[in-house]
C-alpha cells in the first residue's frame, strides 16, 4: 500500500506529448509500510506514557523518536520523493522531523525553560502540529480509508494534547494518550496491510482505497 492519491498505474509524467503521458517506472520499493510502522511504534510508546498506565513509556518514546520515528521515517519521506508521491513525501518527512524535534525539545530546550513558561512552550509546539495534521487530513481523503483514519485520529490526539499542554491538564493529556494509542493501532494496521499485500501480491488486508479526484 502506498500513501498516495492514485494507484501506481496512474503515476504519469506530464508533457510527454499532446494528450499522452508515460507511466513512471518505480526505482524503489514502497516506503509507506516503513514510515507507518515507525510512526506507529513511536506514537504508541509516547501515548502509553501520556495515559499514565506505564509512565516509563515516554522514556522509550524518546529513544524511538530519534532513531525509528525520526530518522527511519525521514528516510521513508525521501524515498516517497523519489516515487513522485507528494502526499507521502510531505507526511513522512514532516512527521519524521516532528519526532526529531520532539527529541530536541525534551532533551535540550525544555530543561532551560522556566517552569511557568512550560505550558506555552509545549502548547505552541503541539498547536503547530495540530494545524498541519488537520490540513493533511483533508488531503488524505483521496488516499485510502486506512490512511484517513490515521489522520483523523491523529488530529484528535493533537487537539487533546494541545489543550492539555496549555492548561497543564493531566485529564486532557490522558485522553489524548488513549486516542494516541488508537492512532498507533490504525497506523500499524495500515503498515501491516501494506507489507502483507505487497508480499502476497494481492489484497489480503483491505485498506479501502478512496476514489481519485475527477479530471
Whole-structure pTM value: 0.88
The rounded distance, in Å, linking the Cα atoms of 111 and 106 is 7
pLDDT of 169-206, one tens digit each? 999 999 999 999 999 999 999 999 999 999 999 999 99
Closest CA to 38 of 75, 87, 85: 75
pLDDT of 114-126, one tens digit each? 999 999 999 999 9
Domain presence at residue 119: yes
Domain presence at residue 208: no
Q: For residue 171, what are the domain limits?
A: 29-200
pLDDT of residue 2: 66
Angle, vertex CA 141, rays to CA 139 and CA 153, nearest 5: 90
pLDDT of residue 24: 58
Q: For 94-111, give one letter per residue: b (16+ CB within 10 A) or e.
A: bbbebbbbbbebbeeeee
Say if CB 166 and CB 123 are below 8 A apart: yes
Residue 91 neighbours by CB under 8 Å, 6+ apart = 3, 35, 77, 80, 136
Say if CB 47 and CB 208 are below 8 A apart: no
Per the listing, cell 484517513 goes with 148
In the predicted structure, residue 17 carries a pLDDT above the cut 70: no
pLDDT of residue 26: 75
3-state secondary structure at position 166: helix
Domain count, the chain: 1
pLDDT of 30-79, one tens digit each? 999 999 999 999 999 999 999 999 877 788 899 999 999 999 999 999 99
Closest CA to 51 of 189, 163, 182: 182
In the predicted structure, residue 5 carries a pLDDT above the cut 90: no
Domain presence at residue 185: yes
Domain presence at residue 81: yes
In the predicted structure, residue 18 carries a pLDDT above the cut 60: no
Domain presence at residue 159: yes
Domain presence at residue 170: yes
Mean pLDDT lowest among 12-16, 30-34, 107-111, 134-138: 12-16
Across the chain, mean pLDDT equals 90
Average pLDDT rounded to a whole number, residues 79-83:
96
Domain presence at residue 11: no
Which helix (H) or strand (E) covers residue 15, if one does? Answer: strand 12-17
Domain presence at residue 212: no
Amino acid at each position: 500500500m502506498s500513501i498516495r492519491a492514485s494507484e501506481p498505474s496512474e503515476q504519469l509524467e506530464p508533457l510527454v506529448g499532446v494528450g499522452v503521458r508515460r507511466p513512471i517506472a518505480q526505482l524503489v520499493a514502497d516506503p509507506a509500510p516503513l514510515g507507518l510502522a515507525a510512526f506507529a511504534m513511536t506514537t504508541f510508546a509516547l501515548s502509553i506514557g501520556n495515559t499514565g498506565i506505564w509512565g516509563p513509556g515516554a522514556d522509550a518514546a524518546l529513544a524511538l523518536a530519534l532513531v525509528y520515528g525520526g530518522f527511519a521515517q525521514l528516510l521513508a519521506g525521501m524515498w516517497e520523493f523519489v516515487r513522485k508521491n507528494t502526499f507521502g513525501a510531505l507526511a513522512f518527512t514532516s512527521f519524521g522531523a516532528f519526532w526529531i524535534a520532539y527529541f530536541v525539545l525534551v532533551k535540550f530546550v525544555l530543561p532551560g525553560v522556566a517552569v511557568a513558561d512550560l505550558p506555552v512552550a509545549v502548547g505552541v509546539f503541539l498547536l503547530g502540529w495540530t494545524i498541519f495534521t488537520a490540513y493533511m487530513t483533508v488531503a488524505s481523503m483521496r488516499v485510502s480509508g486506512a490512511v484517513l483514519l490515521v489522520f483523523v485520529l491523529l488530529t484528535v490526539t493533537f487537539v487533546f494534547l494541545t489543550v492539555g499542554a496549555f492548561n497543564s491538564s493531566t485529564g486532557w493529556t490522558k485522553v489524548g494518550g488513549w486516542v494516541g494509542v488508537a492512532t498507533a493501532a490504525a497506523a500499524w494496521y495500515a503498515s501491516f496491510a501494506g507489507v502483507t499485500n505487497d508480499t502476497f501480491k494481492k489484497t489480503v488486508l483491505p485498506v479501502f482505497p478512496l476514489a481519485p479526484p475527477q479530471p
